[in-house]
Chains A and B, each alone.
Chain A
Amino acid sequence: MNTDFINNIGLTHYLVLAALLFMMGMAGVLLRRNVIVLLMSVELMLNSVNLTFIAFSKYLGILDGHIMVFFVMTIAAAEAAVGLALAVSIFKRFNEVNIRFFEHLKG
């Protein structure tokens, strides 16, 4: 068996890991019904993108990816604050966090 793939960790390994994490987050957004779990899946996707940025930053030898990660983290924290405020607001009104119950915005 070729052990090169196992022993030499390179950019590809990190990118594939980040892609798999992103797909998990996307599957969560598509499949789950609970609004809070949807928000958590979005956080999962943002984290996988952060991992991609840092991996590229290291293997290309530039620091700009680190700055992008700062920006993504700030946006993610802001999104969590507003999303959870909306979730609380929806829960107070409908007493439910299942997205199947909020169909008012459907076109």
Chain B
Amino acid sequence: MTADAFLFWFLAIVTLVSGLSVILLSNPIYSSLCLAMTMVGISALFVTLNAYFIAGVQLIVYAGAVMVLFVMVIMLFDLKKDIQAFTKGKFSGAVKIASVGLLAGLVVGAIAMSVGLLNEKTADNPVTAGTGMETTKALGQILFSKYIFGFEALGVLLLVIAVGAVALARSKGGTHEH
């Protein structure tokens, strides 16, 4: 087995096992720690795909900021172990798992069929050709030219989110009692 292949399989197994643990462990704090592990695994997979800058952002934003937010909120709630971790709604768990499995089969089948069409285009590859610095430079140039309106919209969105989160926290039932 080559080093590249070994790296991929190792990271894939780590990511899948920790992703499965997120939904199977009944204690939410363990779920969140497993989710952090999944984020780190995906970040390493980004490195194997030559997306160095995105991998760094993934580590800082997801594995750092978002996971700290989750863990802090869980600690705020002081939750015990969930005895009934799984729902019993109108549809039973078996039906839900079966439908997810069917969708998984459909998606994987569609991928397997469509990838044959893509294989021809992948011979010449500008993203893999450059070093990490060149990719990051090109990324910044696209972000501030082609996608400048999306970028501005994201700024507005973040402002709205900040105001909305504060409004939610201050409203009745929020963290600040009146």
Contacts and interface: CB of A to CB of B under 8 A. Distances in A.
Given A28-B23, A51-B42, A88-B175, A17 B12 contact: yes
Interface string B16-46: 1001101100001001100100110010011
Contact of A17 (B16, B51, B119, B161): B16
Contacts of A12: 111-112, 115
B69 A58 contact: no
| SS of A interface (majority) | helix
B49 A28 contact: no
A15 B109 CA distance: 11
Which 9 A-B pairs have CB atoms at the shortest separation, nearest pair first? Answer: A28-B23, A93-B173, A85-B168, A78-B161, A23-B104, A30-B96, A85-B165, A9-B8, A19-B107
Interface of A: 6-17, 19-28, 30-34, 36-37, 39-41, 43-44, 47, 50-51, 54-55, 57-64, 66-67, 69-71, 73-78, 80-82, 84-93, 97-100
Contact of A78 (B19, B85, B143, B158): B158
Contacts of B76: 88, 91
B45 A76 contact: no
Interface in B35-75: 35, 38-39, 42, 45-46, 49-51, 53-54, 57-58, 61-62, 65-66, 69-70, 73-74
Contacts, number: 241
Given A6-B9, A33-B84, A78-B161, A27 B96 contact: yes
Interface residues of B, number: 88
A70 B150 CA distance: 10
Contacts of A86: 168
Contacts of A32: 23, 85-87
Given A40-B35, A61-B126, A6 B86 contact: no
